[in-house]
Amino acid sequence: MPTIAVLYEKGKVRTIELSGHLRGIAWDLNDDSAILVGDYGKMLRVFSDQTVRRLDSGTATHLRSISANPNDGNLLIAGNSGTLFSLAEIKTRIQVPTFENLRTVSWNAQGTTALIGGNSGVLLKYANSSVHSLGDGRANLRRIAWHLHDNCTLITSNCFAEQFLPSPNLFLYDSDKEQLRVLNESQADFIGVDGEPNGEFALVAGYDVVWHTGLIGQFDGAKLTPLQFENKQVYPVTVAWDPSGKLAAICTAITQPGMGTGSIRLWNGQKLTTVFESDRYYFSAATWNHYGTLLPLASPANRVFSC
């Protein structure tokens, strides 16, 4: 199963075709290469000149998310069956109190704390080389976005747990107070989230599970205001702000073949512009480096529920 990495830089698009189903991505500390993780423990380093180097993850478990510590570059990698490990000079397996699939991991801006989210409401805090559980989420947690100027995060979630038990779909976690607060409930699965670099608001992306309409919302700390766009059978799964705060990339996937496309859309604060679209490749993750290069990942295997 192939994956493409789509490089968007200075208005130009290039694609790099890679083997295997790759799901998660993080730029390294120097922003000159990106580390990709995916199924069967696959891990690659991709350079801007399109050179690709295979890395040894030491596992055959499906890996879903990766985050680089902004202080020392230490990689924290999460995957299925409670898999969590750090990778610096050596790999260190981190024991966690769950066997649920872990879907998302993110370091804070100070590099002192990471949050890890997963299925069945699993939310873990990693700090000082130890892990403990947080909160009482119900449904699958999808993405985590730290506020750059304080120690708080937004956490997205599916809107239903098992047996269609309603669940909040957006949480705020205050790491200093160790307090988890519900911000929103609706019939939408929220997936992508990222905060505008100046800290004024965040974008949240997902879709209404009943009407199959995409949703991109602007959250100002108090309320969620939907953006207007052609949203029928559009399924946003990831949000990534560029470091200047001028553009947000919003990428889409599909629920099943024939329903929607994989696309990269850029929002400049007023309108969405599509810069890439495919009826074969569907997105799972995207990130910018500090030089303003956007790198999303797409595969024919990606579906909204599995991103």
What would the pLDDT profile of 75-95 be if each residue is shown by its tens digit? 999 999 999 999 987 889 999
Full domain range(s) for residue 169: 2-306
pLDDT score, position 136: 67
The CATH number given to whatever domain includes residue 28 is: 2.130.10.10
Instruction: Using the CB atoms, write b or e for 179-193: b if 16+ within 10 Å.
Output: ebeebbebebbbbbb
Q: What is the pTM of this model?
A: 0.96
Exposed/middle/buried for residue 210 (C-beta within 10 Å: 0-12, 13-18, 19+): exposed
Q: Which of 60, 65, 75, 79 is nearest to 25 (CA)?
A: 65
Average pLDDT on 117-130 reads 95
Q: For residues 27 and 294, what is the distance between their CA atoms, to the nearest angstrom?
A: 10
SS3 state of residue 224:
strand
pLDDT score, position 1: 81
pLDDT score, position 137: 74
What is the dihedral angle through the alpha carbons of 130, 135, 141, 145, rounded to the nearest 10 degrees?
-70
Strand-pair category, 91-93 with 102-107: unpaired
Total domains in the chain come to 1
41 backbone φψ class: left, alpha, beta (φ>0; ψ -120 to 50): left
Whether the per-residue pLDDT at 149 is higher than 80: the answer is no
Q: For residues 255 and 44, what is the distance between their CA atoms, to the nearest angstrom?
A: 27
Whether the per-residue pLDDT at 148 is higher than 80: the answer is no
